[in-house]
Amino acid sequence: MTKKTTQTAATGGNSELFSIAICKENAESLSEALARIQGSAHADILCADDLLHFAGAAERRLENAGIAASYRAGAMLHVTPSGPSCTAYKYARLGTAVQLERKASAWTLVRAYRTKAWPRQIGRQQLTMTPRQKLLVLKNTMKAHGITVAEANVAVAMIAKAV
């Protein structure tokens, strides 16, 4: 486990940058890192199993998009907590958010921090791909649906005109 730096987040909590591979062998290191961020909190917290789940789900999304394992490095996953479901609850509550990055061999925990989540706020798992990964997704989708380059250019022009 390599802790790079600690900084104060806008919410008043800690934000730490890490470089810990997300795998079962590193479960203890991941748990320790999350414990430092979450402190004595007992609600809206994450554990190492949650990180394994997030990494596995992101890996499946990249695989289903047709991106070969050798091209998956550089993808980022940002996971934010959901807010309280009761609308009578007027205040934000703190939850743990994480940022994961796909390296050549595995997903790694890059950043963890506590952040506010408002009532009825939906938790998100935002997967961000590199430009090359986006091109591969478009190429695979065009091939799967029999879309030619000329047809794709017409569609892009129509979308640009509509916006």
Tell me the β-bridge partners of 109.
20, 100
What separation in angstroms does the CA of 141 have from each of 15, 51, 64?
38, 29, 11
How many residues does the structure list for the chain?
163
Contact 115, 11 (CB under 8 A): yes
C-alpha span between 76 and 60 (Å, rounded):
14
Q: Give residue-wise pLDDT tens across range 61-97.
A: 999 999 999 999 999 999 999 888 877 778 888 999 9
52 φ/ψ sector (left φ>0, alpha ψ -120 to 50, else beta): alpha
Q: Give residue-wise pLDDT tens across range 11-53.
A: 445 677 889 999 999 999 999 999 999 988 888 889 999 999 9
- What is the reported pTM? 0.83
